[in-house]
Amino acid sequence: MENVDHAQANELFSAYWDDELAPEQASALEEHLRSCVVCRREYQTFEQAIGKLGNMHRMVAPSDFAVAVRKQINRRSKGRFFTPKRLAQRVPFEVLSLVMLGLVVAIYILLQFAQPSALKLP
């Protein structure tokens, strides 16, 4: 990427702030910011907004936070999400159909042997 336009520059702001841009992207953005007042001002606004967010009090999530969130979602969705799966739901249907097919073949073979009259003995 050699040149970035205004829209691209704006899209890169947050990644640039997080230091997640590839070196050539970062330098392309810096190049654009040097030459473009509009985007420079835009980026300053972005920086200020992020800076204010960063100053906000950080809270550490309790250790059971993820579990509690899952439970909450499960309750509020009336069990539509995060319901512990029953065995029938966990067995993949591909495996199930193969097992059924095997069973049918097994029964067929058993029936063949169970009918001596149908067997042609030499």
Interacting residues with Zn ion (CB under 5 A): 6, 36, 38-39
Shortest approach of Zn ion to residue 9 CB, angstroms? 5
19 within 8 A of 25, measured Cβ to Cβ? no
For Zn ion, the closer CB: 41 or 71: 41
Q: Of the two residues 7 and 60, which places its CB atom closer to Zn ion in the complex?
A: 7
| Least Cβ distance, residue 38 to Zn ion (angstroms) | 5
Among residues 38, 68, 71, 104, the alpha carbon closest in space to that of 13 is found at 38
CB of 29 vs Zn ion, minimal distance in Å: 10
Task: Specify the residue, 28 or 39, whose C-beta has the smaller distance to Zn ion.
Answer: 39
